[in-house]
Each structure stands twice: as C-alpha cells, then as structure tokens.
Amino acid sequence: SSVTGTAEWDGEGRTADGHEVKVLANVGAPGDARAAAEAGAEGVGLFRTEFCYLDADDEPGVGQQQDAYRAVLEPFAGKPVVVRTLDAGADKPLAFLAQEPEPNPALGVRGIRVAFDRTSVLDRQLDAIAGAAAESGAEVSVMAPMVATAEEASWFAERVRAAGIARAGVMIEVPAAAMTAREVFDAVDFVSVGTNDLAQYTFAADRQLGAVATLNDPWQPALLRLLALVGEAATAKGKPAGVCGEAAADPLLARVLVGLGVTSLSMNPASVRAVGASLAAVTSAECAAAAQAALAAPTARAARAAATPGGQA
C-alpha cells in the first residue's frame, strides 16, 4: 500500500474496510478554515483560539470574540469543530493574560492553569463560543489545553456544560494525563492528544530547540506507549480520542495511531489528502498490525521500519 499520498482520496475518512476515522484540520483564523474546507477536511479537530489574540492588548469583549469565532466556524456548518480555549503562556503569551515572570514558562502557569486564577475570562470565552456555535450551525465541542489530572478535567467540563455547550473534552499533552487517561475520560466526553507538547514533556526536550529535536519524535517508543494507553482507555470507555499534534500529519504514523485506537486525526490542511488516502489504502486489521509492530520496536527508527508495508524502510 502506498504511503506517498499521491493516491486519490474520496474525502470520506475511513479505512479500506469502512472503519470511520475523521480527517480534520488544525486552524487559527478564518483564512485557515476556508483553506481547510477547500483541502477536503471533514471538520476542525483543533481551533487554536489564542491565535486570534496574539496582538490584543486587552481582553476582547464577548460579542467581539463571538464574531471572531463565528468567522472560523462558518465554513464548517453541519460539521464537527473542536474549539480549544485560550492556550496562553510559554511560547504563546497573551498580553491580557500576562503572568509574573517565571524561570521555566513551559512548566509554569499556562493553558488551563491560567483559567484557575482568571476563571471569569474562561467563562466569557465559553459564552462567546456557545453564541458562535449557535449562529454558525457547526457541531461545536470545546476542549482545554495543558490538563494534567482528572480533577482538572472535571472542573473544566462542569464550566463548559454550565455555558450550555454539549461536548466537553481535554487535550492530553502532559504525560500525567496520558497515564491516567481512564480517569480523565470519566470526566469528559472526548480527548485529543497534543503530540507536540506530549513529546516535549515526555522527553524533557524543549519543542522550540533544534538541538533536541531528534528526541521530539512521535515514533519514539515512549511516546507510542503513551498513545497506546490513551487508545486503550478510549476503547474501554467507548469515547473518542483524537490526535491533533504534528504526528497526525504523517501518513504512515496515521495508520499506527488508528491501530492504537485513535478515532480522529487533525492536522495542517496541506496534509489532509495524503492522510485520508493513506488510511483508505489499508484495513483496520493492517492498522492494528502496524501498531503492534511499531509498539514492539526498541527505537524510533525501528518503529517506523516495522510499520512500513513490506517490512524495512
């Protein structure tokens, strides 16, 4: 089976035997959303709302936020869109959520941790998302970034439901959340694995630092084992587990992720067709075999080779 992505794709995310895996896009602005729809994405698996406000000095009002979110949701009326609440801090500082200077910002008050102190900012954002969802007709879910524990997940889900939003989820991008995926699932309707940060925190390797980039490889055995824990928990709980980090854009790894129990993949719009075509070319049994072969491999290189059709890469 080809993994080159040159094969045709009919736009329906599924394996050759009909197992559904939605192929979604990551977006941060209305232009991205239109590009994603044109690229054939079946929805949005990650809307990075903080990208709307990287230049904002003050917190935008609820009406202003609602307009901004609606513009991103509109190309996906009738389709699933996962909106992520503000992921401020570390590499994405927002002026209106500025923190005290920290020695290690990636390990500090970022993502959902900001919302524990500034809960009214979260609640206003949830109101704006609920309004934009109703106006756009998109099937909106909301998720939080940087969740570490099931207790944090349940705190967030309660606020999402109070805002009248039907589906509440969290990102799994901290190893602690992956290790307790079953308990996290009990608190929410779905999870989405952020492999960029999950790799950074698993390997203690700054995702922005080229010198440690070989560690930040989703084929590394430690990362595959964490993904397997999340996939097993999703299967056990009967709830969806997406992947929205860069790992989802690799057509060969996409098969492994599906074999590990991942139920949707979200990526940069440019990769949508290649991933859709790669999944359509194999059965779910072949995905499961590729996943087991990759999981058994001792190195990232060996895992990729083991998952490659025909054996060695």
Which residues participate in catalysis according to the annotation? Answer: 244
Tokens of 121: 């900012």
Q: Which stretch binds Mg ion (CB under 5 A): 32-40, 121-129, 188-196, 206-214?
A: 188-196
Among the listed residues 129, 143, 244, 300, the single contact to ligand PEP using CB under 6 A: 244
- Interface with ligand PEP (CB under 6 A), residue from 125, 136, 180, 195: 195
- Interface region with ligand PEP, contact rule CB under 6 A, candidates 113-121, 194-202, 268-276, 284-292: 194-202
Interface mask (CB under 5 A) for Mg ion, residues 226-265, using x and -? Answer: ----------------------------------------
User: Does 173 count as an annotated binding residue?
Assistant: yes
Output 15 or 26, the one with its CB closest to Mg ion. 26
Q: Is 152 in the site for ligand PEP (CB under 6 A)?
A: no
Q: Which of 48, 110, 159, 167 binds ligand PEP (CB under 6 A)?
A: 48
Question: In the set 32, 152, 189, 197, which binds ligand PEP (CB under 6 A)?
Answer: 197
Tell me if 173 contacts Mg ion by CB under 5 A.
Answer: yes
* Contact (Cβ atoms closer than 8 angstroms) between residue 169 and residue 184: no
Query: What is the DSSP secondary structure assignment for residue 61, as one 8-state letter?
Result: P
Is 196 assigned to a binding site?
Answer: yes
* Least distance (Å) between residue 195 CB and ligand PEP: 5
Question: By 3-state DSSP, what share of the chain in percent is helix, strand and coil, each rounded to 5?
Answer: 50, 15, 35
- Rule CB under 6 A: say whether 169 interacts with ligand PEP: no
Residues in the chain: 313
Please check whether residue 102 is in contact with residue 109, taking contact to mean a CB–CB distance below 8 angstroms.
yes
**Residue 41: what residue type?**
A
The residues that bridge with 22 in the sheet, in sequence order, are: 264
Long-range contacts of 194-197 (CB under 8 A, 24+ apart): 194/145, 194/244, 194/245, 195/223, 195/227, 195/243, 195/245, 195/246, 195/247, 195/248, 196/245, 196/246, 197/146, 197/171, 197/173, 197/245
How far apart (Å, rounded) are the C-alpha atoms in residues 256 and 303?
A: 10
| Span interacting with ligand PEP, options 177-185, 191-199, 281-289, 294-302, rule CB under 6 A | 191-199
Q: List interacting residues with Mg ion (CB under 5 A).
A: 173, 194, 197
